[in-house]
């Protein structure tokens, strides 16, 4: 386990372990009979080639669910080429053995999805022995010095584009960067499909012309390479990232004008904060991710505090809160006025239960900008968790003064009024939230729960039907619908079905298991009801 999984309840952790065991079983079945595959060995040795794609690329069976990442390299070998050899000597003695695995080539992951990834072929051991579906993958361990494992001989350039391959680029620049007091690196992302302006034109021709334009704008000292099928990388000695921004913007305009290619560019350099020279490539990727999120052209980003914030958000979305916190702290070192990073750091601290520190971060943001609705809302949530409802209510009301249509603040205030049995003010807040037109399913769910509390069952049913039409996988609405069926004494089997859906969607919610236990007990299935009740206690 890693990241946010450590913060899950024991029951949820057990579910995750069973899920991962099933993944290992599925991979073992795919590899043949009588196979064993531990989950943590799927990435190093359980991957297979799924499909050959154009431009020397492959689809492989590894994804984010086994921690695959772009840039990882794998050796490709074929179990079909292995065979048992039996030899008899002159005196009749029988000798047997098995041929060693034949390494067919090496690949690098360039785009990683949830369950599969796309890889680029770095080199083939034998051109007459192509990579095929069913070939197995073996992870190449990362080393501090990529050049140490490189093949003998000088780095080679592609004769068509004049660019180094990915591995040869690392070899060509590794020694140079160590002796440079300053350098920059540029990552250029081009569309993966050939331009439509000239149908039938090979994509590699565009790549060669794009490389020529890059040298024209970056200068003769720029060392270029292929980072992946659609990315070019350039090493620029003695150049600062900020001074390259204008040249990069002109390059993007030229690529669009001459080749019809809409590109995105990320730039990073050394020195920068406390990063080592070897971190520049990763910072360049973060800058490119930042550039791709920009709402309009030019999609160009120089690695900065905002790039680190974007990277932190990616870690947070994947549940790795500690890695996200590190990125946010680095972002604040680069720019202490970065309100987004400070607010996100406060959210991470609150997730970890460190409420006083989170409160201090939100307060600092509000001290700089008293109308920052994000910080005001999050401060209200922290104050509510600290048991200070009056201060929390004040924070939410300040948020509404800054933004009268802030749905989350309206729902929070409504919920607080509902919990204190002030149903009329609660209804007022919920109706204001509904009038904004934002998050309609969420607002309808709150209105339904309030209608149940006021014994207006038909009104509650109508709200829940509308909420489930908008979001059929709304676990909270499903649980409320199950409660409504049980309250009205209708078919408990329907209530059970809805409660089971809610539990499947959010197994960590205790009240969902309680509702399922009630539905089972109403059908006389007391043993199963007891099991559901015990599961609720374990959440």
DSSP state of 75: E
In this prediction, residue 4 carries a pLDDT of 64
Are 226 and 245 spatial neighbours (Cβ–Cβ below 8 Å)?
no
* pLDDT mean over 145-158: 58
Is 436 part of any domain? no
Residues 172 and 283 in one domain: yes
Tokens encoding 329: 């702290």
Q: Is the pLDDT of residue 293 over 50?
A: yes
Report if residue 254 sits inside a domain.
yes
Q: What's the CATH number where 504 sits?
A: 1.25.40.10
Q: What percent of the chain has pLDDT over 90?
A: 49
For the chain, the helix, strand and coil percentages under 3-state DSSP, each to the nearest 5: 55, 15, 30
Answer yes or no: do 238 and 264 share one domain. Answer: yes
Closest CA to 245 of 302, 329, 290: 302
Q: In angstroms, rounded to a whole number, what is the distance separating the alpha carbons of residues 510 and 391?
A: 28
Q: Determine the 3-state secondary structure of 111 from DSSP.
A: strand
Q: How far is Cα 290 from Cα 308, in angstroms, rounded to an integer?
A: 9
Residues 168 and 281 in one domain: yes
3-state secondary structure 12-60: HHHHHHHHHHHHHHHHHHHHCCCCCCCHHHHHHHCCEEEEEECCCEEEE
CA torsion sign for 119, 120, 123, 126 is positive
User: Does 339 fall in a domain?
Assistant: no
Residues 400-420 have a mean pLDDT of 93
* pLDDT at site 194: 41
Instruction: Classify residue 253: in a domain, yes or no.
Output: yes
CB contact at 8 A, 112 and 43 = no
Question: Do 55 and 164 fall within a single domain?
Answer: no
In a domain, 12, yes or no: no
Q: What distance in Å separates the CA atoms of residue 294 and residue 288, rounded to the nearest whole number?
A: 10
> What pLDDT score was predicted for residue 147?
41
Lowest mean pLDDT among 12-16, 133-137, 201-205, 340-344: 201-205
Tokens found for residue 487: 């309250």
CA–CA gap between residue 368 and residue 366 (Å, rounded): 5
105 and 30 assigned to the same domain: yes
Helix or strand run (H / E) with residue 468: helix 457-470
Q: Which residues of 496-525 are buried (b: 16+ CB within 10 A; e: fewer)?
A: bbbbbbbbeebbebeebbbbbbbbbbbeeb
Domain boundary among 234, 265, 293: 293
Does the pLDDT at position 20 exceed 80?
A: yes
Task: Examine the domain organization and report whether 128 and 239 are in the same domain.
Answer: no
Identify the domain boundary among 246, 264, 293.
293
Count of structural domains, the chain: 3
Residue 92 maps to a domain:
yes
pLDDT in tens, 26-36: 888 887 788 88
- Residue 146: what pLDDT? 45
E strand or H helix at 124: strand 117-124
Contact 86, 106 (CB under 8 A): no
What are the DSSP calls for 131-171, one per residue? --TT-EEEEPPP-S-GGGGSPSS---B-TTT--B-HHHHHH
Whether 35 and 131 share a structural domain: yes
pLDDT class of 186 with cuts at 50, 70, 90: very high
pLDDT higher than threshold 60 for residue 296: yes
Residues in the chain: 539
Asked if the bond preceding 271 is cis, omega within 30° of 0, the reply is yes
Q: So what's the pLDDT on residue 31?
A: 79
Cα of 278 vs its chain's centroid, Å: 23
Position 97 scores a pLDDT of: 60
Angstrom distances, CA of residue 54 to CA of 34, 59, 118, 421: 35, 11, 11, 64
Whether 74 and 174 map to the same domain: the answer is no
Read off the pLDDT of each residue in 53-79 and give the average, rounded to a whole number. 85
pLDDT for the residue 108? 86
CATH number of the domain to which 254 belongs: 3.30.70.270
Report residue 195's pLDDT band, with 50, 70 and 90 as the boundaries: very low
Last residue in a domain, options 142, 173, 190:
142
Confidence of residue 221 (pLDDT cuts 50, 70, 90): confident
Confidence of residue 102 (pLDDT cuts 50, 70, 90): confident
Q: How far apart are CA 66 and CA 41, in angstroms?
A: 9
Kindly state whether residues 266 and 211 are assigned to the same domain.
Answer: yes
- For the cut 90, the answer to whether the pLDDT of residue 496 exceeds it is yes
- The structure tokens listed for 530 are 């007891």
CB 109 within 8 A of CB 60: yes
Are 138 and 187 members of one domain?
no
Residue 433 falls inside a structural domain: no
Are 90 and 215 part of one and the same domain? no
CATH number for the domain harbouring residue 36: 2.40.10.410
Cα–Cα distance, 357 to 345 (Å, whole number): 10
CA distances from 350 to 69, 346, 383, 408 (A): 28, 6, 11, 17
d(CA 66, CA 23): 9
Domain of residue 38: give its range: 23-142
Token duo for residue 11:
């029951």
* Whether residue 177 sits in one domain with residue 51: no
The mean predicted confidence, pLDDT, of the chain is: 86
- Tokens standing for 276? 């080592």
CB 286 within 8 A of CB 311: yes
* 343 falls within a domain: no
H-helix or E-strand spanning residue 353: none
- How many other β-carbons are positioned within 10 Å of the β-carbon of residue 473? 12
């Amino acid at each position: 386990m890693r990241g946010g999984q450590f913060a899950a309840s024991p029951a949820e952790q057990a579910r995750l372990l069973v899920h991962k065991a099933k993944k290992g079983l599925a991979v073992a079945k795919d590899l043949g009979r009588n196979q064993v595959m531990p989950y943590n060995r799927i990435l190093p040795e359980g991957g297979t080639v799924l499909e050959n794609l154009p431009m020397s690329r492959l689809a492989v069976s590894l994804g984010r669910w086994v921690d695959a990442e772009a840039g990882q390299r794998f050796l490709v070998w074929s179990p079909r080429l292995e065979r048992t050899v039996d030899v008899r000597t002159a005196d009749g003695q029988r000798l047997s053995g098995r041929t060693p695995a034949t390494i067919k080539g090496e690949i690098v992951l360039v785009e990683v999805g949830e369950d599969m990834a796309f890889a680029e072929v770095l080199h083939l051991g034998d051109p007459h022995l192509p990579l095929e579906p069913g070939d197995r993958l073996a992870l190449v361990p990362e080393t501090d010095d990529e050049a140490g494992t490189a093949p003998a001989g000088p780095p080679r350039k592609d004769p068509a584009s004049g660019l180094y391959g990915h591995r040869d680029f690392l070899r060509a620049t590794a020694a140079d960067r160590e002796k440079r007091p300053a350098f920059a690196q540029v990552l250029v992302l081009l569309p993966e499909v050939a331009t439509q302006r000239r149908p039938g034109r090979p994509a590699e021709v565009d790549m060669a012309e794009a490389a020529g334009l890059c040298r024209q704008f970056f200068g003769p000292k720029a060392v270029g390479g292929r980072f992946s099928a659609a990315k070019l990388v350039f090493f620029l000695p003695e150049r600062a990232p900020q001074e390259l921004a204008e040249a990069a913007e002109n390059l993007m305009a030229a690529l669009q004008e001459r080749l019809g290619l809409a590109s995105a560019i990320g730039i990073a350099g050394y020195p920068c904060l406390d990063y080592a020279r070897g971190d520049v490539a990763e910072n360049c990727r973060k800058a490119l991710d930042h550039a791709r999120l920009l709402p309009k052209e030019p999609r160009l980003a120089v690695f900065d505090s905002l790039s680190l914030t974007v990277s932190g958000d990616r870690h947070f979305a994947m549940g790795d809160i500690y890695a996200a916190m590190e990125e946010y702290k680095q972002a604040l070192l680069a720019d202490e006025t970065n309100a987004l990073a400070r607010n996100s750091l406060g959210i991470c601290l609150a997730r970890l239960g460190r409420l006083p520190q989170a409160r201090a971060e939100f307060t600092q943001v509000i001290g700089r900008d008293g109308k920052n609705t994000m910080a005001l809302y999050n401060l209200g949530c922290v104050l509510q968790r600290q048991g200070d409802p009056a201060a929390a209510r004040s924070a939410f009301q300040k948020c509404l003064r800054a933004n009268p249509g802030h749905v989350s603040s309206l729902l929070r205030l409504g919920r607080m009024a509902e919990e204190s049995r002030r149903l009329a003010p609660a209804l007022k807040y919920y109706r204001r939230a509904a009038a904004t037109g934002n998050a309609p399913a969420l607002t309808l769910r709150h209105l339904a729960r309030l209608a149940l509390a006021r014994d207006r069952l038909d009104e509650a049913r109508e709200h829940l039907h509308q909420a489930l039409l908008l979001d059929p996988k709304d676990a909270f609405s499903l649980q409320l619908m199950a409660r409504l069926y049980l309250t009205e004494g209708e078919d408990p089997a329907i209530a059970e079905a809805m409660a089971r859906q809610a539990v499947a969607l959010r197994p960590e919610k205790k009240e969902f298991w309680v509702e399922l236990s009630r539905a089972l007990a109403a059908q006389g299935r007391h043993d199963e009801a007891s099991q559901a009740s015990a599961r609720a206690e374990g959440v």
